[in-house]
Amino acid sequence: MSDKLIVMEKRVYIKTFGCQMNEHDSERMLALLAGCGYQETKRWDEADLILVNTCTVREKPEQKAYSFVGRFQRLKENNPDVIVGVAGCVAQQGGERLLARIPGLDFVIGPGKIYRLPEILHDVEKGRKGACAVGFEDGSSVHLPISHSQQLRAYVTIMQGCDNFCSYCVVPSVRGRERSRPSSEVLAEIESLVQRGTKEVILLGQNVNSYAKNNPHELTFPQLLAKINEIPGLERIRFTTSHPKDLTEEVILTFGKLKHLCEHFHLPFQAGSNAVLERMNRGHTREEYLAKAKRLREATPQISITADVMVGFPGEREEDFSQTLELIQDVEFDGLFSFKYSPREGTQAAQWKDDITPEIKQRRLEVLQELQREITLKRNKKLEGAVREVLVEGRSRNSPHTMMGRIRCNRIVNFPGGPEVVGELVKVKINEGLQNSLRGELCR
């Protein structure tokens, strides 16, 4: 590393699109960049390095990422010294082609090569233009540097990639095949985070239920949860995402057993009709999904269930869509992330005609979201009068005298209070259930 890098403080502006994996990757990149003398700035016009962490899972975030990169090209015309890099799934998919397509772009780095960022940056600073690092390491396990961030709530990667090949999904090709991180590293990372003040961890993976599935010498997912539960000082454990076909009774029963495991399950279902599920290559039926959701609620009545769902998949008839609405009504999700299908290059479904018009997709999305809004409000109102444990995260955005935090089942609560409770677990009485949050008061 050059002397210049060590003595001069530089600034990095990072823009993140997409999912929690990407947010976590951005955090990891910032940590690596701090070691190279870069501090984060929220102002792109004062940055020495601009990094765009992209997502290709759906068309919208991908388009946004491209137009964002375009803006920085113009910035570069005025200040040729600024370094511009593209990270994330667009980088992985585009590789060298991106460098040719976007003039002024200095480097491209895929999600599997984040650890090489300091080296790439060094090359670029030395004047080597057009550095590119994409691809994945071979093998079923992945080693990541231990994160030493200081956050009340911290993401911890336990696995990367996906082996499921849902027909619409670009993840297996851009994030690679499933690789789990050794449990010893996961546990060491969490211990280190807790020593620095972390009280809640969110375990990340595309399909955490199949953690280390091909490695008989490794802990299973429920065993890993049990070990994490024993770490002194850690108050809360969450995880995301799960695939319905891999959700076992053992995991369902873990909720009552582990004190620190929060009662929230994110279980994407994608569609409510068996015909569509089959074409999506999901590996589960509507009935199987409903049975698992029912078991989750029976085993842990206070559990909150959220999911991802899509409308407008090729060939989705009105009756298929009605079955999606019925499923939503049956499960009564606490929250839903809903999307309009868009064909993604390289996936199986991209070969089929995208035959649902944009107008129909939009209408179906609106109908679905309206239904879910009613259900969310109803479920939030059900909590009125209850006393719940809240981990206080900080001031609420709306008022300096209001604090915000989350109850165990992941809803946001705002309540009057001062900063002395930040980082604490407190009891809050819920007075009002609103559309997007709860309102309450501290129980002294």
Minimal distance, residue 303 CB to ligand 5AD, in Å: 20
Round to whole Å and give the CA distance between 5 and 9: 8
Say which entry of ligand SF4, ligand 5AD, none residue 240 contacts (CB below 5 to 8 A, set by partner kind): none
String of contacts with ligand SF4 for each residue 159-198, x by CB under 6 A: ---x-xxx--x-xx--------------------------
Which is nearer to ligand SF4, 207 or 372 (by Cβ)? 207
How near is the Cβ of 152 to ligand SF4 at its closest, in Å? 28
- Name the minimum Å distance from CB 33 to ligand 5AD: 27
Residues found near ligand 5AD in the complex (CB under 6 A): 19, 57-58, 168-169, 268, 270, 308, 310, 339, 341-342, 344
Neighbours of 226 (CB within 10 A): 15
Minimum CB distance to ligand 5AD, residue 337 (Å)? 7
Select from 299, 304, 183 the least CA-distant residue to 240: 304
Closest approach, Cβ 268 to ligand SF4, in A, equals 7
Nearer to ligand SF4, 198 or 206 (CB): 206
Smallest gap from residue 61 Cβ to ligand 5AD (A): 10
| Residue 342 binds which of ligand SF4, ligand 5AD, none (CB < 5-8 A, kind-dependent) | ligand 5AD
| Residue 341 touches which of ligand 5AD, ligand SF4, none (Cβ within 5-8 Å per kind) | ligand 5AD
| Closer by beta carbon to ligand SF4, 166 or else 204 | 166
Considering CB distances under 5 to 8 angstroms, the limit depending on partner class, which of ligand 5AD, ligand SF4, none binds residue 352?
A: none
164 contacts which partner out of ligand SF4, ligand 5AD, none, CB within 5 to 8 A by kind? ligand SF4
Q: Residue written as tokens 């336990």?
A: 158
β pairing state of 402-407 and 412-416 = antiparallel
Nearest to 304 by CA among 210, 148, 412, 161: 412
172 binds, among ligand SF4, ligand 5AD, none (CB under 5 to 8 A by kind): ligand SF4
**Which of ligand 5AD, ligand SF4, none lies near 310, with the C-beta cut-off 5 to 8 A by kind?**
ligand 5AD
To ligand SF4, the closest distance from the beta carbon of 438 in angstroms equals 30
Q: How far is the CB of 175 from ligand SF4 (least distance, A)?
A: 8
Nearer Cβ to ligand 5AD (292/344):
344
Task: Map residues 222-261 to x or -, x wherever contact with ligand SF4 holds by CB under 6 A.
Answer: ---------------------x------------------
Cβ distance to ligand 5AD smaller for residue 174 or 310: 310
Q: Which is nearer to ligand SF4, 205 or 440 (CB)?
A: 205
Shortest Cβ 83–ligand SF4 spacing (Å):
31
What is the pairing mode between strands 335-340 and 159-160?
Answer: unpaired
Q: Which 3-state string (H, E, C) describes the chain?
A: CCHHHHHCCEEEEEEECCCHHHHHHHHHHHHHHHCCCEEECCCHHHCCEEEEEECCCCHHHHHHHHHHHHHHHHHHHHCCCCEEEEEEHHHHHHCHHHHHHCCCCCEEECHHHHHHHHHHHHHHHCCCCCEEECCCCCCCECCCCCCCCCCCEEEEECEECCCCCCCCCCHHHHHCCCEECCHHHHHHHHHHHHHCCCCEEEEECCCHHHCCCCCCCCCCHHHHHHHHHCCCCCCEEEEECCCHHHCCHHHHHHHHHCCCECCEEECCCECCCHHHHHHCCCCCCHHHHHHHHHHHHHHCCCCEEEEEEEECCCCCCHHHHHHHHHHHHHHCCCEEEEEECCCCCCCCHHHCCCCCCHHHHHHHHHHHHHHHHHHHHHHHHHCCCCEEEEEEEEECCCCCCEEEEEECCCCEEEEECCHHHCCCEEEEEEEEECCCCEEEEECC
Distance from C-alpha of 261 to C-alpha of 378, rounded to nearest angstrom: 25
The residue among 116 and 245 lying less far from ligand 5AD, judged by its C-beta, is 245
Q: Does the protein bind ligand SF4 through residue 206 (CB under 6 A)?
A: yes
Q: Choose the binding region for ligand SF4 from 41-49, 61-69, 158-166, 426-434 (rule: CB under 6 A).
A: 158-166
The residues of the shown chain that bind ligand SF4, judged by CB under 6 A, are 162, 164-166, 169, 171-172, 206-207, 243
